Structure 1
Amino acid sequence: MTQSSPVVAAQLSHWRPALILTKLAPPRTRHYIERKRAIRHLRPGLERKLTVLVAPAGFGKTSLLSEWKAVMAQEGCAVGWLSIDRDDDDLFQFGAYLLAAARDACRQAGEPVPSRLEPDPLAPADAMFAELLNAVLALPRKMVLVLDDFDRLTSPAIHEAVFRLLRYAPENLHLLVAGRSEPAFPLSYFEARGQLLKLDAEALRFDSAETQAFFSAVSGHDMSPAQTEALLQATEGWAAGLQLASFALSANDQAGVVAEHLPFARRSVEAYLNENVFVHVPEPLQGFLLQTSVLDRMSESLCDAVTGSSSAHASFEWLMARNMFVRPLDADSRWYRYHALFADYLRKRLVQERPHEVVGLHRRASEWFAAQSLWAEAVRHALAAGDVDRAAGWVEQCAMNLVEASDVRTVLSWVAKLPAEAVRGRLRLRLAHAWALALTMQSVAAKCELQAVEDDIRLGKLPVTEVVRVELQAVKALIAGLSDESQRSLDMGRKVLELGPAEGSWAEGIGLTTLIFGLSYASGFGEIERLRRTLTFGTGTNAPIYATVYRQSMVGLSLFVEGRLGEAVQTLEDVLRESSERAGPQSAASVLPVGYLAVIHYEWNDLDRVAELLEGRLEMALQSCSLGPLVGFCMTLARLRLLAGKQDEAYRVVEEAEAVARSRQWLRMQVACKAEAIRISIQSGDLGRATRIGQELEALVGQRPANLQGSYLETWQRFQVAHCRLLVARGRAAEAVPVLQGVHAELRAAGMQYLSAQIAVALAVALHSAGHRMKAMQAMLAAVAYGQKNELRRVFLDAGPVARDILDGLRQQQALLGEVEPWYVDELCRGFDALAGTTDARTASGKCKEEARVEDPIEPMAASRLSAREVEILDYVARGLSNKEIARAIRVAPETVKWHLKNIFEKLKVNSRIQAVRSGLGRDLPRITEQSVRN
């Protein structure tokens, strides 16, 4: 690795990736005139979702939008600004900047910044966009976000995300996108709905009055009508041309000569600048301009460092005095940038005249940015200088700091930008990359990365120290835990701690967390208790919040698995309180304890608390939750939907969760989803669907393993309960009894009291259905005894009328109750009565509400997974176009349209074009009839 300067080395331990704040405000313009005519063109856009302003370079887009921003702010809008550059072509970074722009808009408008807009390093990009929409919806005024130079973004993922953002945007959100070309998402979708304003260069051209006002502001004296007309005709209202003319006139003072040459500037700005502008710049200043052209933004100290002189202050004074294509970026004039046309011209000239200086200029810029801890620009300039080793070295030394702060998406972004050969020989960087992949739930990719690292270690390509050995074991333990390999997680967690990691270190924390997870499913509850009393990692207000949440959530899980529900809730509520205070209630950290809490509060029949816990967190949970909490979250949400009579929504929740489980190869969650789908189908009376899903479930799980251990015991239990539930529904309860008896014995032996009580209820129902009423009451009694101590309700209520009959039998034979209090059995029976009343009321009103549900469809989660192209095609389908007509409209082959429609049908789980239109386009669609959609 190339050695860095002492100043840089001193900064390396304080990696603080930060947003560039000057990007959140428009450049200041020294000589600017009001563009009232152009502003009138922009104003209709406020009534729509999207304004797109497209014009070539030099037409004054940024200056006009800066004025428009001020106008909107004066009129009460919350206005955010983002100046986009090439480094923002990363979905997570773009999302972070978009949230920052929204936060800035709130502050400037005097609104409190919603907690939803606070950054969350573990939040996936999709969740960030969802939080932005939720925050704007709650805002008591219109929010406008201006995205300048949007055409610099080429990432399809970003264009897809912006399309979805606009599609689901509330009425008080407006997006203004400006650039040299149109954005790459389908504008036709918004145009067809009257939600788009498109403007081009014509709206930006100067007229005679504006031209006169411009030259008066620049030169201090008025031009004659003839001079104005000559310059206006020569420039065709081109703002850059007027600026060129203003500088040329200050040196020449012959408007006729300038006007004569200006038309050629449109064809060759470079030639015009050479002949009419650059020749009038003093020679030392010419060198300054060329050398600093490598910078996207400039400060005086940065320019002095890059040029090796102390002339920056005087140079900026000279340039600003002459309106020489330099714009300040902040109110204090600490940061500047060149006009885009002028910067392009200078860079081309630098390469032509001083190619030998380019590498050194980027290298000095990189050193300066690194010394200021402005790492994004430091690494970019290092790469531009060809110093990939230096760039990789900086990232390597700081990557684990980022991981420990849970800023793992920055690590992923940096590794993606570095050349593969720069990463290959850097062990710690590759380990940090594996950590980042694992912590973003990309366990499969993390395993592959770690396997490649271990292969290179065995081949002697990578050096290994004792510290590295500990870290290797720790990341392997984490991957095992996140892959639901609980026994391996237990073994690996022990090995981490046996290697003696530094007290309080990240590796020790992961070792403890994975050990607790493994012990939870190995009935090691006593050992967990001892660990809890001696645990020091992740305690205190300065401990990393995500590390604390993971560890404490595992402690809560152990109490839950053991069946100590009250203590589990107390632990998990403490975790949720701390994560909400430190990371925000909608953060990835806060979602982790919610999944387990939702299950327990649901069991207590505290449905209001369950709804409160789950509200607005689904997208975050799907993207960032580990397996256990996500299963609890999604299955509980599906049950809430079913209780509300929304069967289709319950199915959709389960199907969405199953898709995530498949992508992460989480068998336990796939089984849980199919088991829940069987339960929904049986309860809805669709035995055929339940049977089909049951067959899929059997094929998924396969044969019973020789030894049931670890978390697989829960997987097997869910499978067997679903299988037996189906047997009972099909009138074969006698076959279910021995299966459930075996599972019940296994769970009791493992000390898993809560799961054991669930099986006891299922067993009681099977026994009763098979005609063994006394045995059914005895089986139910075991569940009731545990239920009374832990306040269970739903496990009985959800078992249906048969469970009520068994409980009635217990009431009539109170001698059987033993330590069970009669009041508890009575209360359970009253719960059934209340449930029956709710069901009757819902059935009575169902017919009245049926049409309303059809006319006001709920936007399905699957629809948000459609790509921009798929939504565009679906939009054409809704307008009644045939496949051939759609193909002509979007310039593809008809077979391509058919292929897209097939994918749309699969994503939306529909079988016809009309179903697809209704499911995929949702509320923003005009009324659709069967006749309007061609088959």
Structure 2
Amino acid sequence: MSNAFTSLISTRFAPPEGKGLLPRERLLVWLESERQRKLILLSGPAGSGKTSLAALWRKSLIARGDSVVWYNVSADDDPVQFATYLAAGLESLDGHVGQDAKSILNRFGIGALDAFAAAVINDLHQFSKPVYLVLEDFHEVAATPIRHLLEKLLAWAPSNLHVVLTSRLAQPFPLSELRAHDEIAELDFTALRFDLSETETFLRSQGVGPLDIATVREVHDRTDGWAAGVQLVAYSIRNTRNVRPGSLSIPARPVSRNGDIVDDYFNQLVNDNLSPEELAFLVHTAACRLFNRGLCEIITANPRAGELLRKFESENLFIVPIESQGDAEPWYRFHPLFGKYLRDRLCRLPEDELININVAAGRWFAGKGLYAQAIRHSRYAGDMNLCVELVERVARPMVVQGEYFQLRKWIGALPRNTLLTRLELLLCAAWAELACGDLDAARHLLADIEAHPQNSTVDTLRESALLRSWCLLKQDDTAAALDVLSPYESLPATVDPLVAFGIRNVLAAALAHAGQFERARDVLMPAGRMMSAEQTIFTPVVARGVVALTYVIQGAYRQASDVMHKAIEEIEARRTGKAEFDGITAGFAIAAAYAKNDLVEAESMLLEHLQLIELMCIPDCIIEAHMARVKILRAENRLDDALRVLNRADELAARLSLDRLYARALAERTSVEIDRGNRPAARQAQRQLQQLAAEYKEQANCAWAEIGFYAASGEAMLAMIDGNFDRALDLCRQLLETSVVHGRLGQTAALHVREAIALWSLHHEQAAVAAMRQAVSIAAPHRMVRHFLDEGAIALRLLELVKSRSDISADEFDFIAQVLMAGASGQSYSESTEARTKQPAHSNVVRLSPRELEILTLVSNAFSNKSIAKTLNCSDLTVKWHVKNIFTKLGAVSREDASVKARELGLLR
């Protein structure tokens, strides 16, 4: 019935079986005529036939080959649960749609609903068939974020997505926009209620008749064609011997205008037709959302449960059989009307009786391995011993499957004093908190783990060391992470695959920051094979991302790009794990693309992945992405926009306690302010950077050691601007010694370029050309184009001189030609300070071409570039260029910024 390790109940995806449903041809014909609308709304009072009609239409849609996802909405759906079911329902279409959305949700919950919606839409764009999403009883939704999520899905929906809502509310959320664009089709009670012939047909189908036309008309008029009312009357008639006009006891008020007569019907039915045994059976069963014979026998203590269920099913009144697959016994739910009536009576039972019912239900579900339902009932009953036992039983499988958010929720509901006694629960809780980015909670759990008396075996010590090092890595303390994990570098074959995978990834990242690049890659690729954690959500693709990190830190950008491209190919072949991978590693691909001067590719990846990068909070990924963004804006001379990005980086650095990000931002701020001609601001940024560097002056062979490098590099830049070339040269050479020792190819090449410029400014021309020659020898194999372009006209002039040397190889010659061509045709930092301070003039009138407006609309609706290309039947590259031009015209720095500015200018609604 459900996935044992999640809160998902598969029967909530199941419509009624549809036995004995009245064919409603006139309504089905109408639905078919309106099936291309974005939203089909079936609204009417309870029992008006909305669900039955939707179930009939579902069958015809499936018969035609369309895809249908059905979800029974519940009043206790919170935003995360609703979105989880939505992702799982979409995943059922082909196993891949909704995977990335689910991964986002499992880590970030309600805080990532926009990213979740974008992932769903992008997946649906790649799905070839029409998809009908049926949400039954949408009026039950109480949480505003759920309504907002559905509004976003409807606003951004691709042409193949159609949402079908059944609701007691004619206006479940604002529909004016959909109506204005003729994207909604509505059926209300006026259309849903039976006509006279349907009332007669339905009565006959219920085993009532033959009835004279006067009696049929009386039933029809008194019930106002209300399907549930006709069904209730049919039940009464079956238990009445003499039926004649005027003899029926039917409340006279039409339910279409006033629904409070429902209890009158049920009270009459209960009093006249149910025995005390039958009523007690139904009331006790109402404690469960879904039930079958075995469960009912336990919670009602009635051995006749199967007989009673068959009776009620045959009466087609109280219970609704549900489509289910693979279950030995059928599952049922109550009709919503009668279910509410029964739950009201259930809540009036004595408290001890309610507790006993839920204890019995919890233990029955636990015995069947249906842990989500077992935990729900045991928590309600206060059976904490069973609850703790069940959570502990599922915690490890949930970690392996990446079900972090639900696991955090369950563990968070346990008594702390109980949690402290369970080492396994503490370990799994730490996994979940680290995966979801709550470092404070993770640190407290790690302290509890280390203090636990059972944390003494080799396996638990190894796992707790991994968790501690992972936490340190997220805090950017790579030296401490390396110290913690070094004793565990050699892993026996018996180690848990997930733990081994984690150790190798964290160890490799820490080794890379210590300058041990080859060793880091050897850790990740034993015997030349990319390692993975078998039977977990982690794949070799994640390890490839860490390999790319080692190359980016080293400055081997070509290799980083190659690794990332292979990883992306693998992800596209697997069609899963993209969101996880992008959030963890896209910053490295962005850095590599920028270094190679593929600004369009770098900007495109920033547009698509920056939100996920910020959500994942991987220090190196965040730093590389944001600094590449600043450099792109500098290259485009959009300096005010670059400062806004740096302000955002400062906010992230403060929120995440990432001093290295703050240091990189200060270094870039120094450069931007120099470009703007604002030397006092540049010096202020440099003073702040020097103060920060002083706090880390003792750090070496770790990520924090980079802070001192940024400070010295910024000081050299200011010395150059001030004309103090001797000081600049001295600082460059000091930094070169460190970079060479640690194998930092990118830093070494950049420093040789600056050394060459300083020597040239001191009129040491031969030495300058020799230094530039060294820079070329390092940069050419890795295609470090921006290392030269970003340094301006003198660097390009020196390249011209190096190009004419006889010791230049063919590959180096081609590389120099590539850089010079880029410098001649594109933007570099070669202009004078005065020219660099001129910003693009953005008047109040921004004119976009029709194509740009079309693309901007899709961008504002969170379409990926690939989805836009598919929608508009053009290439990805075309979309990238249009997006870049749109951003330039609007002076925007992000998709969200472009959307906001476009709306302010009246370009978007």
Q: Which residue identity is paired with 2:71?
A: L
Q: Which residue identity is paired with 1:785?
A: S
Structure 1 position 807, deviation (Å): 0.8
- Alignment match, 1:311: 304
- Alignment match, 1:335: 331
Cα deviations by residue, 1:197-248 (Å, 9 ceiling, x for unpaired) = 6665555443434323322322353544433443334333433222221211
What runs of 5+ residues in structure 1 fail to find an aligned partner?
1-10, 866-909, 930-935
For the Cα contact (< 8 Å) 2:558–2:782, is it kept in 1? yes
- Alignment match, 2:47: 58
Cα deviations by residue, 1:440-470 (Å, 9 ceiling, x for unpaired) = 233344335545x36xx76x8x865545554
What is the distance in 2 between the residues matched to 1:330 and 1:673?
Answer: 57
Q: Which residue identity is paired with 2:741?
A: A
For the Cα contact (< 8 Å) 2:544–2:563, is it kept in 1? yes
What is the distance in 1 between the residues matched to 2:793 and 2:507?
Answer: 42
Cα deviations by residue, 1:154-178 (Å, 9 ceiling, x for unpaired) = 4444344333333333344333344
For the Cα contact (< 8 Å) 2:513–2:703, is it kept in 1? yes
What is the distance in 1 between the residues matched to 2:590 and 2:499?
Answer: 30
Structure 1 position 852, deviation (Å): 1.8
Structure 1 position 787, deviation (Å): 1.7
Cα deviations by residue, 1:526-553 (Å, 9 ceiling, x for unpaired) = 7547746868998468363527555554
SS in 2 for 1:82: strand
What is the distance in 2 between the residues matched to 1:229 and 1:58?
Answer: 19
Say which of 691, 698, 716 aligns to 1:707: 698
For the Cα contact (< 8 Å) 1:641–1:649, is it kept in 2? yes
- Alignment match, 2:794: 802
What is the distance in 2 between the residues matched to 1:829 and 1:388?
Answer: 72
Cα distance, 1:56–1:519 mapped onto 2, change above 3 Å: same
- Alignment match, 1:920: 900
For the Cα contact (< 8 Å) 2:590–2:628, is it kept in 1? yes
What is the distance in 2 between the residues matched to 1:211 and 1:164?
Answer: 40
- Alignment match, 1:176: 164
What is the distance in 2 between the residues matched to 1:281 and 1:679?
Answer: 83
1:399 to 2:379 alignment: no
Cα distance, 1:829–1:64 mapped onto 2, change above 3 Å: same
What runs of 5+ residues in structure 2 fail to find an aligned partner?
829-839, 863-889
Q: Comparing 82-91 with 846-855, which one deviates more in the overlay? A: 846-855
Q: Which residue identity is paired with 1:435?
A: W
Structure 1 position 119, deviation (Å): 5.0
Structure 1 position 804, deviation (Å): 0.9
- Alignment match, 1:379: 375
- Alignment match, 1:410: 406
What is the distance in 2 between the residues matched to 1:777 and 1:754?
Answer: 19
Alignment map for 1:62-77 (pairs within 5 Å): 62-70=51-59
Cα deviations by residue, 1:665-707 (Å, 9 ceiling, x for unpaired) = 333334445656776787xx6555x975885675477332222
Q: Which residue identity is paired with 1:256?
A: G
Say which of 240, 255, 264 aligns to 2:228: 240
What is the distance in 1 between the residues matched to 2:219 and 2:666?
Answer: 73
For the Cα contact (< 8 Å) 1:151–1:182, is it kept in 2? no
For the Cα contact (< 8 Å) 1:141–1:172, is it kept in 2? yes
For the Cα contact (< 8 Å) 1:737–1:766, is it kept in 2? yes
SS in 2 for 1:707: coil
| TM-score for the superposition, normalised by structure 1 | 0.77
- Alignment match, 1:483: 475
1:629 to 2:621 alignment: yes
Q: Which residue identity is paired with 1:149?
A: D
Q: Which residue identity is paired with 2:615?
A: Q
Structure 1 position 521, deviation (Å): 1.6
Structure 1 position 437, deviation (Å): 1.8
Structure 1 position 179, deviation (Å): 3.7
For the Cα contact (< 8 Å) 1:728–1:736, is it kept in 2? yes
Cα distance, 1:826–1:557 mapped onto 2, change above 3 Å: closer
What is the distance in 2 between the residues matched to 1:61 and 1:244?
Answer: 17
Cα distance, 1:584–1:267 mapped onto 2, change above 3 Å: closer
- Alignment match, 1:97: 85
- Alignment match, 2:266: 273
1:760 to 2:755 alignment: no
1:473 to 2:460 alignment: no
Alignment map for 1:76-475 (pairs within 5 Å): 78-86=67-75, 88-91=77-80, 93-104=81-92, 106=93, 114=97, 119-120=102-103, 124=108, 125-126=112-113, 127-140=115-128, 142-180=130-168, 187=175, 201-221=189-209, 223-252=211-240, 254=243, 256-261=246-251, 263=253, 266-267=259-260, 269-277=262-270, 279-330=272-323, 334-352=330-348, 356-416=352-412, 418=414, 423=419, 426-451=422-447, 453=448, 464-466=455-457, 468-475=460-467
Cα distance, 1:576–1:926 mapped onto 2, change above 3 Å: closer
For the Cα contact (< 8 Å) 2:239–2:273, is it kept in 1? yes
1:31 to 2:20 alignment: yes
Q: Comparing 39-48 with 73-82, which one deviates more in the overlay? A: 39-48
For the Cα contact (< 8 Å) 1:671–1:697, is it kept in 2? no
Structure 1 position 146, deviation (Å): 1.9
SS in 1 for 2:333: strand
For the Cα contact (< 8 Å) 2:755–2:771, is it kept in 1? yes
Structure 1 position 142, deviation (Å): 4.2
Structure 1 position 361, deviation (Å): 2.5
Structure 1 position 784, deviation (Å): 1.3
Structure 1 position 337, deviation (Å): 0.8
SS in 2 for 1:313: helix
What is the distance in 2 between the residues matched to 1:261 and 1:193?
Answer: 42
Say which of 538, 541, 544 aligns to 1:546: 538
Cα distance, 1:284–1:695 mapped onto 2, change above 3 Å: same
- Alignment match, 1:893: none
Cα deviations by residue, 1:624-648 (Å, 9 ceiling, x for unpaired) = 3622234444555676788799999
What is the distance in 1 between the residues matched to 2:60 and 2:232?
Answer: 28
Alignment map for 1:430-829 (pairs within 5 Å): 430-451=426-447, 453=448, 464-466=455-457, 468-494=460-486, 503-504=495-496, 506-525=498-517, 528=520, 531=523, 539=531, 542=534, 544=536, 546=538, 548-551=540-543, 553-563=545-555, 581=573, 584=576, 586-589=578-581, 592-605=584-597, 616-624=608-616, 626-633=618-625, 635-636=627-628, 660-672=652-664, 686-687=676-677, 695=684, 699=688, 702-705=691-694, 706-709=697-700, 710-718=702-710, 721=713, 736-765=728-757, 767-768=759-760, 773-812=765-804, 814=805, 820-821=808-809, 824-825=812-813, 827-829=815-817
For the Cα contact (< 8 Å) 1:206–1:238, is it kept in 2? yes
Cα distance, 1:292–1:570 mapped onto 2, change above 3 Å: same
Cα distance, 1:831–1:272 mapped onto 2, change above 3 Å: same
Q: Which residue identity is paired with 1:920?
A: V
Q: Which residue identity is paired with 2:53?
A: L
Q: Comparing 758-767 with 389-398, which one deviates more in the overlay? A: 758-767
What is the distance in 2 between the residues matched to 1:176 and 1:769?
Answer: 71
CA RMSD of aligned residues (A): 4.8
- Alignment match, 2:867: none
Cα distance, 1:533–1:811 mapped onto 2, change above 3 Å: closer
Q: Percent identity?
A: 24
Q: Which residue identity is paired with 2:809?
A: E
Cα distance, 1:530–1:28 mapped onto 2, change above 3 Å: closer
What is the distance in 2 between the residues matched to 1:143 and 1:853?
Answer: 32
Q: Which residue identity is paired with 1:215?
A: L
Q: Comparing 575-584 with 229-238, which one deviates more in the overlay? A: 575-584
Q: Comparing 491-500 with 743-752, which one deviates more in the overlay? A: 491-500
Cα distance, 1:656–1:546 mapped onto 2, change above 3 Å: farther
Cα distance, 1:360–1:536 mapped onto 2, change above 3 Å: farther
Cα deviations by residue, 1:248-279 (Å, 9 ceiling, x for unpaired) = 11112546344533649943534532332454
Structure 1 position 401, deviation (Å): 2.9
